[in-house]
Structure 1
Amino acid sequence: MAMNSPEKELILDSHFPVWNLRPMRFVRVEDKTIHFEENVELRAIPGAFPKKIDALLKFVDCKNIKLLGKGNVLAMNKAEYTDGEWRHVIRLRGCTDVVIDNLVLRDSGGDGLTIGRSEKKLFSEKIYVSRIKSINNKRQGISIVSAQDVWIQDSEFRDTKGTFPGAGVDLEPDLQTERLVNINFENCQFANNYNAGIKIETHNLTGSSEPISVRFKDCILIDNFSRDNPKVRAEITIHSHKTDPVGGTIHFEDILVKDSNWGLLVSRKNAEGFHVYFKNVIARNICRDTGMSAIFLEVPHYKIPSSPGGFTFTDVVLEYESDVPVFRVRGTRWIPDSLKDMHGNITVKRKNQQAPLFDYINMDASDNENVDFQITKIPR
Structure 2
Amino acid sequence: MKLSRFMFLALLACPVVLFAQEVVKVSSYNPQTQDATAAIQAALDSGAAKVLVDKVLPEYRVTTLKFRSNQEVIFQRGVRVRAIKGAHQGVNDCLLLAKGVQNLIVRGEGDVRIEMNKSDYQDSKLYRPSEHRHLFPIIGCDNVVVRDLTLASSGGDGLYISGDETKNWSSNVLIENVISENHHRQGCSIISAEHLKIRKCIFRDTKGTPPAAGIDLEPNNTSQKLVDCVIEDCKFVGNAGGGFGAGINYTLSAPVSITFRNCIVEENPNMAISFWVGGSKEKLLEGDIYCIDCKIRQKQGIPLQFNNIRAGGVRIHFQDCEIDNRNSDLAAILLNTQFPDDVDGIDFGNLLIRQKASQPVVDIGALGAAKLYPPQGNIIIENETDERKAYDLVALASKHAGDEQLRNFLSTPLDTKGLKPVADKGNPQNTLRLRGEHNFLQYGKAGVPMTLTFTVPWHRDAPIHIPVTVRDSYNTFVAEFILTEEQQTFSFTPKYDSVFAFHFRTHWIVNVSSPYPGQGYDCSKRLGLMSCESDFYFVVPTGLEKINIEIWGDMGEKVQGQLYSADGELVDQTDYNFGVMFLTATRAQNASEEIWRVHVKGDEDHAVRLGSPLQPILFTSPENIIK
Name the TM tier (shorter chain). Answer: 0.7 to 0.9
Matches within 5 A, 1:348-367: 348-351=381-384, 364-365=399-400
| Structure-1-length-normalised TM-score | 0.86
Identify which range, 248-257 or 260-269, moves more after superposition. 260-269
> Unpaired runs of 5+ in structure 2?
1-41, 123-128, 404-627
The answer as to 2:254 corresponding to 1:210 is yes
For 1:314 and 1:164, the matched residues in 2 are separated by: 31
For 1:107 and 1:360, the matched residues in 2 are separated by: 47
Q: Which residue of 1 aligns with 2:140?
A: 94
Q: Which residue of 2 aligns with 1:320?
A: 355
Indicate which of 369, 373, 376 corresponds to 1:340: 373
**Displacement, 1:296?**
1.6
Indicate which of 186, 195, 198 corresponds to 2:241: 195
For 2:186 and 2:315, the matched residues in 1 are separated by: 25
Indicate which of 250, 261, 278 corresponds to 2:318: 278
Letter in 2 for 1:318: I
Q: Which residue of 1 aligns with 2:341?
A: 306
Indicate which of 104, 108, 130 corresponds to 1:65: 104
For 1:13 and 1:191, the matched residues in 2 are separated by: 32
Matches within 5 A, 1:285-296: 285-286=325-326, 288-290=327-329, 292-296=330-334
Letter in 1 for 2:233: N
**Displacement, 1:358?**
6.9
By percentage of residues, which structure has more strand? 1
Question: Is contact 1:325–1:359 with CA below 8 Å preserved after alignment?
Answer: no
Q: What is the DSSP-based 3-state SS (H/G/I as helix, E as strand, rest coil) of the residue aligned with 1:276?
A: strand
Q: What is the DSSP-based 3-state SS (H/G/I as helix, E as strand, rest coil) of the residue aligned with 1:131?
A: strand
Question: Is contact 2:315–2:345 with CA below 8 Å preserved after alignment?
Answer: yes
**Displacement, 1:265?**
1.3
Mark the CA change 1:322 to 1:12 in structure 2 (over 3 Å): closer, same or farther.
farther
**Displacement, 1:351?**
4.3
Mark the CA change 1:265 to 1:285 in structure 2 (over 3 Å): closer, same or farther.
closer
Q: Which residue of 2 aligns with 1:237?
A: 274
For 1:72 and 1:351, the matched residues in 2 are separated by: 44
For 1:74 and 1:93, the matched residues in 2 are separated by: 19
For 1:365 and 1:332, the matched residues in 2 are separated by: 7
For 2:367 and 2:77, the matched residues in 1 are separated by: 57
Q: For residues 56-112 of structure 1, what are the alpha-carbon distances to aligned partners after superposition, in whole Å with 9 as ceiling and x for unaligned?
A: 001110111111102300000001113101111111110111100100000100011
Q: How many residues align?
A: 350
Q: What is the DSSP-based 3-state SS (H/G/I as helix, E as strand, rest coil) of the residue aligned with 2:119?
A: helix
Q: What is the DSSP-based 3-state SS (H/G/I as helix, E as strand, rest coil) of the residue aligned with 2:107?
A: strand
Q: Which residue of 2 aligns with 1:372?
A: none
Letter in 1 for 2:348: F
State the Cα RMSD in Å: 2.4
Question: Is contact 1:93–1:116 with CA below 8 Å preserved after alignment?
Answer: yes
Q: Which residue of 2 aligns with 1:78?
A: 118
Question: Is contact 1:218–1:255 with CA below 8 Å preserved after alignment?
Answer: yes
Q: Which residue of 2 aligns with 1:377?
A: none
Indicate which of 59, 62, 85 corresponds to 1:21: 62
For 1:362 and 1:218, the matched residues in 2 are separated by: 29
Question: Is contact 1:300–1:308 with CA below 8 Å preserved after alignment?
Answer: no
Q: Which residue of 1 aligns with 2:229?
A: 183
Q: Which residue of 2 aligns with 1:378?
A: none
**Displacement, 1:363?**
7.9
Between structure 1 and structure 2, the one with the greater Rg is: 2
| Structure-2-length-normalised TM-score | 0.53
Letter in 2 for 1:219: C
Letter in 1 for 2:51: L
Indicate which of 140, 144, 147 corresponds to 2:190: 144
For 2:102 and 2:61, the matched residues in 1 are separated by: 25
For 2:398 and 2:352, the matched residues in 1 are separated by: 26
Q: Which residue of 2 aligns with 1:6?
A: 47
> Unpaired runs of 5+ in structure 1?
227-233, 369-380
Identity percentage of aligned residues: 29
Question: Is contact 1:325–1:356 with CA below 8 Å preserved after alignment?
Answer: no
Letter in 2 for 1:245: L
**Displacement, 1:272?**
1.9
The answer as to 2:256 corresponding to 1:221 is no
For 1:235 and 1:295, the matched residues in 2 are separated by: 10
Mark the CA change 1:284 to 1:168 in structure 2 (over 3 Å): closer, same or farther.
same
For 2:233 and 2:391, the matched residues in 1 are separated by: 34
Q: For residues 286-338 of structure 1, what are the alpha-carbon distances to aligned partners after superposition, in whole Å with 9 as ceiling and x for unaligned?
A: 5x443x3211211232xxx22123111112100012733222233345x3x21
Indicate which of 286, 305, 317 corresponds to 1:266: 305
**Displacement, 1:6?**
2.2
For 2:269 and 2:232, the matched residues in 1 are separated by: 21
Q: For residues 329-353 of structure 1, what are the alpha-carbon distances to aligned partners after superposition, in whole Å with 9 as ceiling and x for unaligned?
A: 33345x3x21126200121012499
Mark the CA change 1:24 to 1:323 in structure 2 (over 3 Å): closer, same or farther.
same
Q: What is the DSSP-based 3-state SS (H/G/I as helix, E as strand, rest coil) of the residue aligned with 1:30?
A: coil
Q: What is the DSSP-based 3-state SS (H/G/I as helix, E as strand, rest coil) of the residue aligned with 1:309?
A: coil
**Displacement, 1:365?**
4.0
Question: Is contact 1:32–1:64 with CA below 8 Å preserved after alignment?
Answer: yes
For 2:93 and 2:216, the matched residues in 1 are separated by: 20
Q: What is the DSSP-based 3-state SS (H/G/I as helix, E as strand, rest coil) of the residue aligned with 1:163?
A: coil
Q: Which residue of 2 aligns with 1:39?
A: 78
**Displacement, 1:23?**
2.0
Question: Is contact 1:188–1:218 with CA below 8 Å preserved after alignment?
Answer: yes
The answer as to 2:360 corresponding to 1:297 is no
Q: What is the DSSP-based 3-state SS (H/G/I as helix, E as strand, rest coil) of the residue aligned with 1:80?
A: helix
Q: Which residue of 2 aligns with 1:230?
A: none
Q: What is the DSSP-based 3-state SS (H/G/I as helix, E as strand, rest coil) of the residue aligned with 1:132?
A: strand
For 1:362 and 1:130, the matched residues in 2 are separated by: 41
Identify which range, 196-205 or 350-359, moves more after superposition. 350-359
**Displacement, 1:142?**
0.5
Mark the CA change 1:309 to 1:297 in structure 2 (over 3 Å): closer, same or farther.
farther
Q: What is the DSSP-based 3-state SS (H/G/I as helix, E as strand, rest coil) of the residue aligned with 2:44?
A: helix
**Displacement, 1:174?**
0.5
**Displacement, 1:245?**
2.8
For 1:127 and 1:205, the matched residues in 2 are separated by: 23
Letter in 2 for 1:325: P
